[in-house]
Copies of this chain bind each other. A is one copy, B any other.
Amino acid sequence: MQNTPADSPVLSCQIPIRVRYCEVDRQNAVHHSRYAVYFEMGRTELLRLNGYDYKTLEDQGLALVVVKLEVRYKAPAHYDDQLILTTRKGHTDRVRLEHLYELSRPADNRIISQAKTVLVHVDPTGRLQPLPHFLTT
């Protein structure tokens, strides 16, 4: 891990997302399967702001896997839209790491989607492990 973790954890972050052409379907809306990709970008950046690089963690053997995804779709997003994704750390205990997401479009002040994911830590055989300490504080 390249950076020194911040003294107090960063609990939320915002990233801009420009909708790509290939992410939009024939209804002219971002396909509902694509949102999970955005949310993953959000929690990766939140981790980075806290001094951790997910790629490095995974290369060192720390595999986090998504065990639950809940998405509510409020309004369609369109090609070339400039969206803002807000990612917040949710309720987290020894084994479950929760994130909450809100995707919005500043141009018309619309909430596009709200979502939640739960991640757990598994060993190479897929067995549940306690989360590393730095992820639970």
Instruction: Give me the interface of A with B, judged by CB distance under 8 Å.
Output: 20-22, 24-29, 31-37, 40-41, 44, 53-55, 58, 63, 65-73, 75-76, 78-80, 126
Known: A22-B31, A29-B65, A31-B22. A55 touches B79 (CB 8 A): yes
Which B residues touch A21, using CB under 8 A? 25-26, 31, 37, 40-41, 44, 54
Contacts of A54 in B (CB 8 A): 21, 80
CB distance from A46 to the nearest CB of B (A): 14
Q: Is there an interface contact between A126 and B76, defined as CB atoms closer than 8 Å?
A: yes
| Cβ contacts under 8 Å, A41 to chain B | 20-21
| A32 closest partner in B (C-beta) | B66
